[in-house]
Amino acid sequence: MAKSAAGGPFPGGVNWVLPHQGDSAIPDPLQSPEAIVDALAAQGYLASRRIAQVIYLAMRLNKPVLAEGPAGVGKTELAKALAAGAGRKLVRLQCYEGLDESKALYEWNYRKQLLRISSDSSSGWQEMSEDIFSEDFLLPRPLLTAIASPDPVVLLVDEIDRVEMETEALLLEVLSEFQITIPELGTVRAGSQPLVILTSNNTRELSEALRRRCLFLHIPYPSPEREREILFARAPGIPEALADSIAQVARSLRGMALKKPPSVSETIDWARTLLTLGVARIDSESFSETSHVLLKYQADIDIALKELATEG
Ligand SMILES: Nc1ncnc2c1ncn2[C@@H]1O[C@H](COP(=O)(O)OP(=O)(O)OP(=O)(O)O)[C@@H](O)[C@H]1O
Ligand SMILES: [Mg+2]
């Protein structure tokens, strides 16, 4: 279907029929796993080789990445850092219960359509409907924005496990074909291949069909060595010994039977708190005074205080 690209609500117009680009579409910063590690590090995101490899393969194979793992391990931040590192625009679809097509894909601008209809009594219905169901009356939502973008974007579909199964099915056409069908207009195909990152905390089982279409990336809690590097990046000026202790305490806490083990974001907050308070060493007193930054339940704080005291 041919469609004018100029003058519509999409930057540069909708690329209605452009084919996917080949390898030449991979921009320089993301051309190898090593380059991906470096591009992410330049944004303060410390990625494991495994993360970089999955991203690299996703780009080469034109597949979305499904990033799963505990809360606060850097799933969302990965997409943000990739966009910034590759100089791409980040298009974000935040998922929630009740998210529907009109918020995820596109919506007709009913108000503008009504105005158009009421301002013109001379046109026949055929002419009018061709006009009001055209690109000018379309409100693109994140998925259509990503597909229609003339430049490759990073599309973040955040917390996909929060939407219902039916909404998940909506995403399948986009994720498998990189296209969206609008009954009144035709099919919009991606003019440039978006790098798609879906994140999930696994609060609900995702469909087999969705999993099949994605490359799976499990992001676990970082090793103490990596967490230490993350602390250097996110809490500048932290002394090495303090970063070491924080990473070791975080590792111990994650091995305890806590309701909410500390995530990377909480260890970063804790590091910043200790720096702000001028605490140079973690002992039972400084831990007890600041543990509310790291742990979010009193029961967890009690367990941690007891177990850390026995560990010495
Ligand atoms: N590898 C990393 N390098 C640098 N910073 C990191 C890394 N992993 C996590 N962080 C930090 O942890 C914070 C939390 O990360 P993020 O919000 O991406 O977690 P998440 O996995 O999406 O969590 P949730 O499941 O709760 O949404 C980020 O702001 C970031 O500063
Ligand atoms: Mg997140």
pLDDT tens per residue across span 284-294 = 899 999 999 99
| 268: containing domain | 224-311
Question: Does residue 192 surpass a pLDDT of 90?
Answer: no
Residue type, 72: G
DSSP 131-197: HHTSGGGEEE-HHHHHHH-SS--EEEEETGGGS-HHHHHHHHHHHHHSEEEETTTEEEE-SS--EEE
Q: Are 30 and 39 in contact (CB under 8 A)?
A: yes
Query: Does 128 fall in a domain?
Result: no
Q: Strand order in 215-218's β-sheet?
A: 90-94, 154-158, 195-200, 65-68, 215-218
Query: Does 125 fall in a domain?
Result: no
Question: Does residue 264 share a domain with residue 212?
Answer: no
Please tell me the predicted confidence (pLDDT) of residue 61.
93
The Cα 227–Cα 263 span in angstroms is: 10
Question: Does residue 200 surpass a pLDDT of 70?
Answer: yes
Question: Does residue 235 share a domain with residue 302?
Answer: yes
Question: Does residue 85 share a domain with residue 41?
Answer: yes
Of 189, 169, 168, 192, nearest to 178 (Cα)?
Answer: 189
Q: Which of 200, 218, 236 is the last residue of a domain?
A: 218
Q: Is 56 in the pocket of ligand 1 (CB under 6 A)?
A: no
Q: How many domains does the chain have?
A: 2
Q: 78 φ, ψ to 5°? A: -60, -45
Q: Are 187 and 146 in contact (CB under 8 A)?
A: no
Of 167, 109, 148, 107, nearest to 3 (Cα)?
Answer: 148
Q: Which bound ligand lies closest to the C-alpha atom of 43? A: 1
Kindly report the CATH number assigned to the domain that includes residue 162.
3.40.50.300
Q: Which of 73, 223, 267 to mutate to test the pocket of ligand 1 (most atoms within 8 A of CB)?
A: 73
Q: Which bound ligand lies closest to the C-alpha atom of 267? A: 1
Question: Does residue 2 surpass a pLDDT of 50?
Answer: no
Question: Does residue 186 share a domain with residue 96?
Answer: yes
Question: Does residue 162 share a domain with residue 63?
Answer: yes
pLDDT tens per residue across span 207-246 = 999 999 999 999 999 999 999 999 999 999 999 999 999 9
Span 44-51, average pLDDT: 95
Burial of 156 by CB count in 10 Å (0-12 exposed, 13-18 middle, 19+ buried)? buried
Output the CA 38–ligand 2 centroid distance in Å: 22
Mean of all residue pLDDT scores within the chain = 88
Q: Which of 264, 267, 294 to mutate to test the pocket of ligand 1 (most atoms within 8 A of CB)?
A: 264
Question: Does residue 228 share a domain with residue 214?
Answer: no
Q: Is 74 in the pocket of ligand 1 (CB under 6 A)?
A: yes
Question: Does residue 176 share a domain with residue 35?
Answer: yes
Q: Is 48 in the pocket of ligand 1 (CB under 6 A)?
A: no
Question: Does residue 152 share a domain with residue 87?
Answer: yes
pTM across the whole model = 0.87
pLDDT tens per residue across span 102-111 = 999 999 999 9
Q: 167 φ, ψ to 5°? A: -70, -35
